[in-house]
Structure 1
Amino acid sequence: MTIAKWGIRAGTALAALAMTAMAAPASAQELSANELVARNLAARGGAEALAAIKTLRFKGSLRFPGDFLLSYVETRGRKGPGGDDAVRVDATLQGLTVVQAYDGKSGWTINPFQGRRDPETMSADEARALADSGRIDGVLLASRASGATVTALGREDFDGTDAYKLKVTEKDGDSFVYLLDPGTFLEIAVTETRRIRGAETVTEAEFGDYEKVAGVYFPMALENGPKGASQRSRITIDTAEANVDVPTDFFVAPAAPAAPKPAAK
């Protein structure tokens, strides 16, 4: 199953996005990287609305190949304790919760399915990948301030859609090739290339079912997996809320319990 052409739920969304679409002639005009980023920003809801979002919380489900279904909660925050945007994902199955988090500087995880109930530190590569996925602005719009290089690559057919193609190359060399819908200028797919533990890893994702949260459009459906994989994991968001109260230590790894003292002889 793919989500190449998800619709937009809210009826008002079509009217709002139509205004953006009117700015783009039907002809296949070429736009610069800066113009594409600007149109994506306007389509998402604009800089002011985006900056007003300090925290985000998504709740829904995560389905893995093999039909494993987990409850899913993702919380994002600007300027976590480590200084950068922070993110935490809690996925629960049969009373056991896997946690993956980035506190703005480093990442950690708890995976009881592997018999580990204490937090473990992620590698720098894995933490960076989680950090990118959890940015409130998203990698594309975060590139405006991150120093990443953005390059327009013309057009590419995506399931019959003549999508705009845009590449973001981060300072460390990781890259993201986005496809933007030519009518709405929202992201419909991305191919991500990065190095994890010294090996190049390429993943693909498709976005859809956009809804407004505090005046900003976010995808409520996402499918992703290794490039060329026949099966992918799927995240479906049921509810989303902006500017929720999040404790200051929410993204920070909990301290491991102290080892028991040896019994007195």
Structure 2
Amino acid sequence: MVKILNALAAGLCLAAASTASAMSAEELIAKNIEARGGLEKIQAIDAVRASGRMVFADGDFSIELSYLNLVRAGAGCRTEISLQGLTAITAYGGGTGWNVSPFQGRRDPERMSADDAKSLEYCADLDGPLVDWQAKGHQVEYQGTEDVDGTEAHKLKVTLKNGDVQTMYFDPDYFLEIRSLMQTTVRGVKQEQETDVGNYERINGVYLPFSIESGPKGGPKSQKVEIEKIEAGVEIDPAQFAFPTR
């Protein structure tokens, strides 16, 4: 009888643990939004200016550039990296992606193809894909937990409206995003980019990451952005996102 009771107790404990770890996609999204600062504060931020440095590393070689990122909700986004008087620009606005690539010898702005600009389509979504995900046309699926560098992180699959798939991983204690895997198809070729985010700080009541490291899935994260300053609610001219006409 004692053995039976012990077995039942153990079974109940396992069931309780399983129930505690189980979570719906909606519950995880709600916890993440609350952890970030709450829906009201998230949606109150309509523009962000982030500056710092970007480091590219390849084996023993590394190079450091200044970094600037501008985003205005619903208008577009623009990233600039500068070194020795040269500035490369990647921008998206009005449904058009474009870039300036002086480090490749191209100093005039060039329009990006629809496929190449696809990854920028949601860059002006300051709230992120999880806020109002149904209205945005995305689909979400909770996929349990997975080890992320020793952390048993919650895993959420987000199928974006344009067909790209973003898998997001969340810290089990703080429910902030620690990693994402973006899967997109460019000119028929599937691409996977893995990004780790961390060093969160509160800006205007919302936690934002100050460290961003990325690289191809399974490969080294050779690109690292270290944010030094984030200004929220700043005035940003939408013209900075539009393709230059002169």
Range of TM-score over shorter length: 0.7 to 0.9
> Residue 142 of structure 1: CA displacement?
5.8
Cα distance in 1 for partners of 2:119, 2:21 equals 34
More strand by share: 2
Residues 90-239 of structure 1 correspond to what in structure 2 (within 5 A)?
Answer: 90-141=80-131, 143-239=133-229
d(CA) in 1 for partners of 2:33, 2:221: 31
**Corresponding residue of 2:36:** 44
- What is the distance in 2 between the residues matched to 1:172 and 1:205? 20
Q: Using the alignment, how far apart are the partners of 1:116 and 1:142 within structure 2?
A: 39
Q: Partner of 2:122: helix, strand, or coil? A: helix
Please say which of residues 130-139 and 58-67 is displaced more in the overlay: 130-139
Judged with a 3 Å threshold, the aligned counterparts in structure 2 of structure 1 residues 40 and 131 are, in CA distance, closer, same or farther, namely same
Does the 8 Å contact 1:176/1:192 carry over to 2? yes
Q: Which of 69, 76, 80 is the aligned partner of 2:71?
A: 76
Alpha-carbon distance change, 64 to 231 in structure 1, aligned in 2, over 3 angstroms: same
Percent of pairs with identical residues:
41
One-letter amino acid of the counterpart of residue 228, structure 1: G
1:192-244 C-alpha deviation (Å, 9 max, x unpaired): 11101220001111110001111111110010011111342000000000111
Structure 1: distance between partners of 2:72 and 2:140: 25
- The TM-score, its normalising length taken from structure 1, stands at 0.81
Q: CA deviation at 1:77?
A: 0.5
Give me the whole-angstrom Cα distance separating, in 2, the residues matched to 1:78 and 1:67: 33
Q: Please state whether the residue corresponding to 2:240 is helix, strand or coil.
A: coil
Does the CA-based 8 Å contact 2:96-2:243 persist in structure 1?
no
- Please identify, of 138-147 and 28-37, the stretch whose mean Cα deviation from structure 2 is larger: 138-147
> After alignment, is 203-212 or 136-145 more displaced?
136-145
Unaligned runs of 5+ in 2: 1-16
Partners in 1 of 2:209 and 2:121 — Cα distance?
Answer: 18
Larger Rg: 2
Distance in 1 (CA, whole Å) between partners of 2:113 and 2:216 is: 19
Aligned-residue offset at 1:28: 4.8
Q: Distance in 1 between matches of 2:221 and 2:238?
A: 37
State the distance in 2 between where 1:231 and 1:77 align.
Answer: 27
Contact persistence 2:54–2:67 (CA under 8 A): yes
- Cα RMSD after superposing both structures: 1.8
In the alignment, what sits opposite 1:262? Answer: none
Q: CA deviation at 1:104?
A: 4.0
Equivalent pair of 1:104/1:131 in contact (CA under 8 Å): no
Amino acid at match of 2:108: D
Q: 1:40 offset after TM fit, Å? A: 0.5
Counterpart CA distance in 2 for 1:201 and 1:133 is 18
How far apart, in 2, do the equivalents of 1:27 and 1:94 lie? Answer: 57
User: How many residues are matched?
Assistant: 227
Please say which of residues 70-79 and 139-148 is displaced more in the overlay: 139-148
> Could you say what secondary structure the match of 1:145 adopts?
coil
